[in-house]
Structure 1
Amino acid sequence: MREHKLALLIFLIMSVVDAAEVSLSPYFIKMIIDGAIKTVGDMERLIPTVLLPAILYASMPMVLNIFFRVYEYAYLKTMPIIKSDITATMFRYLSQHSYSYFQERFSGNLAKKIFDLMSGVESIIQIIHYIFTTRFIIVLIGSAILFTVQPIFGIILAVWAFCFVGASYYMAKKSEALSYEFSEADNVVGGKIVDSITNILSAKLFSNFNHEEKLISKSLKDVVAKDQLLQWHMMKTYFMQGTLITILSASMISGLLYGRLNNWVTIGDFALILALSSTVAMNIFNTGKEMIRFSKEVGKCRQALNIIVEPQEISDNTNATELNVPEGKILFDNVQFQYKDAEPLFENKSVIIEPGQKVGLVGHSGSGKSTFVNLILRLHDVTHGRILIDGQDIRNVTQESLRKNIGMIPQDPSLFHRTLMENIHFGKIDASTEEIINASKSAHAHDFIVTLPKGYDSMVGERGVKLSGGQRQRIAIARAFLKNAPILILDEATSQLDSITEKYIQESLWELMQNKTTIVIAHRLSTLLHMDRILVFDKGKIVEDGTHQELLAKKGLYSELWKSQVGGFLLDRDDGILI
Structure 2
Amino acid sequence: MTSVDVADTPPSSFLHYRQFHRGTIPRHALTFLFTLLWTRFRWRVLALTATSVAGIGLMALEPLFLRDLVEALTRFQPGQDIPWPSDIWLPFALVAGAWLLSAGFNRLREWVDLHTTPSLRMEVQTCLFSYLMEHAPAYFQDNFAGRLAQKVKQAGQAAANLLGILFNEITRLIVAIAVGVAIVAPQASIFLWVLLGWTVAYLALSILLARRCLGLSRALSEEVSRSTGVMVDTLGNAEIVRGFARGAHECLRQADAVLREADASRRLRRFLILMWLLMFNALLAFQISFIALAIDQVVSGTMRVGDMVMIFSLAAILSNNVWNLCARFTDLFENLGIIDASLETLNVPHAIADLPGAPDLKVPRGGITFEGVTFRHGDGTPVFTGLGLVIRPGEKVGLVGPSGSGKSTLIRLLRRQYEVQAGRILIDNQDIAQITLGSLNRAIAEVPQDPGLFHRTIGENIHYARPEASWDEVLRAARQAHCDGFIRRRPNGYDAVVGERGVLLSGGERQRVAIARAFLKQARILLLDEATSALDSETEHAIRDALWKLFEGRTVIAIAHRLSTVSRMDRIVYMEGGQIREEGSHEALLARGGAYARLWARQVDGFIADEED
Q: Show the counterpart of 2:468.
A: 430
2:611 partner letter: L
Matched, 1:144 2:177: no
1:303 partner letter: A
Post-superposition offset of 1:237: 4.2
State how far apart, in whole Å, the 2-side matches of 1:567 and 1:117 are.
Answer: 59
Matched, 1:132 2:170: yes
Gap change, CA 1:346 and 1:258, over 3 Å in 2: same
Post-superposition offset of 1:226: 5.5
Contact 1:106 1:195 in 2 (8 A): no
Q: Show the counterpart of 2:71.
A: 34
Q: Show the counterpart of 1:74.
A: 112
Per-residue deviation, residues 447-500 of structure 1 (Å, max 9, x unmatched) = 221222222111111111221111111111100000111111111111112222
Q: Alignment length, in residue pairs? A: 574
Q: Show the counterpart of 2:54.
A: 17
Q: Show the counterpart of 2:328.
A: 290
Post-superposition offset of 1:297: 1.1
Contact 2:61 2:98 in 1 (8 A): no
Of 472, 485, 506, which residue of structure 1 is paired with 2:523? 485
State how far apart, in whole Å, the 2-side matches of 1:218 and 1:548 are.
Answer: 60
Contact 1:34 1:267 in 2 (8 A): yes
Per-residue deviation, residues 361-418 of structure 1 (Å, max 9, x unmatched) = 1122222211111111111111222211111111111111101111101112121111
SS in structure 2 of the partner of residue 565 of structure 1:
helix
SS in structure 2 of the partner of residue 81 of structure 1:
helix
Q: Show the counterpart of 2:9.
A: none
Gap change, CA 1:174 and 1:64, over 3 Å in 2: same
Of 333, 340, 343, which residue of structure 2 is paired with 1:305? 343
Matched, 1:551 2:589: yes
2:538 partner letter: I
Post-superposition offset of 1:174: 4.6
State, as a whole percentage, how many aligned pairs show the same letter.
Answer: 35
Of 556, 570, 587, which residue of structure 2 is paired with 1:518? 556
Gap change, CA 1:541 and 1:230, over 3 Å in 2: farther
Post-superposition offset of 1:186: 5.0
2:545 partner letter: E
Post-superposition offset of 1:22: 3.2
Gap change, CA 1:441 and 1:74, over 3 Å in 2: same
Q: Show the counterpart of 1:7.
A: 44
Of 157, 181, 199, which residue of structure 2 is paired with 1:161? 199
Per-residue deviation, residues 490-525 of structure 1 (Å, max 9, x unmatched) = 111111122222111111001111221111110111
Q: Show the counterpart of 2:545.
A: 507
- Structure 2 matches for 1:179-194, cutoff 5 A? none
Matched, 1:324 2:357: no
State how far apart, in whole Å, the 1-side matches of 2:109 and 2:216 are.
Answer: 33
Gap change, CA 1:317 and 1:418, over 3 Å in 2: same
Contact 1:177 1:299 in 2 (8 A): no
Of 542, 561, 570, which residue of structure 1 is paired with 2:599? 561
State how far apart, in whole Å, the 2-side matches of 1:205 and 1:438 are.
Answer: 44
Q: Show the counterpart of 1:574.
A: none
Gap change, CA 1:420 and 1:569, over 3 Å in 2: farther
Post-superposition offset of 1:270: 2.5
State how far apart, in whole Å, the 1-side matches of 2:263 and 2:605 are.
Answer: 55
State how far apart, in whole Å, the 2-side matches of 1:222 and 1:545 are.
Answer: 60
User: What is the TM-score of this pair, normalised by structure 1?
Assistant: 0.92
- Structure 2 matches for 1:406-555, cutoff 5 A? 406-555=444-593
Contact 1:408 1:480 in 2 (8 A): yes
Post-superposition offset of 1:200: 6.2
Contact 2:56 2:102 in 1 (8 A): no
State how far apart, in whole Å, the 2-side matches of 1:229 and 1:189 are.
Answer: 17
Gap change, CA 1:178 and 1:92, over 3 Å in 2: farther
Q: Show the counterpart of 1:262.
A: 300
What's the RMSD between the two structures over aligned residues? Answer: 2.7
Residue range with higher mean Cα deviation, 476-485 or 243-252: 243-252
Per-residue deviation, residues 270-312 of structure 1 (Å, max 9, x unmatched) = 2221232133123212211111111111112211221111111
Gap change, CA 1:282 and 1:70, over 3 Å in 2: closer
Q: Show the counterpart of 2:395.
A: 357
Residue range with higher mean Cα deviation, 256-265 or 217-226: 217-226
- Structure 2 matches for 1:130-279, cutoff 5 A? 130-176=168-214, 231=269, 234-235=272-273, 237-279=275-317
Q: Show the counterpart of 1:391.
A: 429
SS in structure 1 of the partner of residue 557 of structure 2:
strand
Q: Show the counterpart of 1:59.
A: 97
Post-superposition offset of 1:221: 6.0
Post-superposition offset of 1:536: 2.0
User: What is the TM-score of this pair, normalised by structure 2?
Assistant: 0.87
Per-residue deviation, residues 553-575 of structure 1 (Å, max 9, x unmatched) = 4443323322332676643xxxx
Gap change, CA 1:35 and 1:129, over 3 Å in 2: same
State how far apart, in whole Å, the 1-side matches of 2:127 and 2:367 are.
Answer: 36
Q: Show the counterpart of 1:578.
A: 611
Q: Show the counterpart of 2:382.
A: 344
2:500 partner letter: E
SS in structure 2 of the partner of residue 123 of structure 1:
helix
State how far apart, in whole Å, the 2-side matches of 1:267 and 1:32 are.
Answer: 11
Post-superposition offset of 1:30: 2.2
Residue range with higher mean Cα deviation, 423-432 or 363-372: 363-372
State how far apart, in whole Å, the 2-side matches of 1:530 and 1:9 are.
Answer: 70
State how far apart, in whole Å, the 2-side matches of 1:469 and 1:453 are.
Answer: 20
Structure 2 alignment gaps of length 5 or more: 1-36
SS in structure 1 of the partner of residue 354 of structure 2:
coil
Gap change, CA 1:359 and 1:457, over 3 Å in 2: same
Residue range with higher mean Cα deviation, 194-203 or 374-383: 194-203
Contact 1:362 1:535 in 2 (8 A): yes
State how far apart, in whole Å, the 1-side matches of 2:247 and 2:377 are.
Answer: 34
SS in structure 2 of the partner of residue 387 of structure 1:
strand
State how far apart, in whole Å, the 1-side matches of 2:250 and 2:464 are.
Answer: 35
Contact 1:108 1:194 in 2 (8 A): no
Q: Show the counterpart of 2:8.
A: none
Contact 1:525 1:568 in 2 (8 A): no
Structure 1 alignment gaps of length 5 or more: 572-576
Post-superposition offset of 1:120: 0.6
Gap change, CA 1:230 and 1:6, over 3 Å in 2: same
Of 104, 116, 123, which residue of structure 1 is paired with 2:161? 123
State how far apart, in whole Å, the 2-side matches of 1:216 and 1:106 are.
Answer: 22
State how far apart, in whole Å, the 1-side matches of 2:531 and 2:521 are.
Answer: 16
Of 107, 118, 139, which residue of structure 1 is paired with 2:145? 107
Gap change, CA 1:539 and 1:334, over 3 Å in 2: same
Contact 2:425 2:431 in 1 (8 A): yes
Contact 2:477 2:519 in 1 (8 A): yes
Contact 2:368 2:427 in 1 (8 A): yes
Contact 1:378 1:394 in 2 (8 A): yes
Contact 1:406 1:486 in 2 (8 A): yes
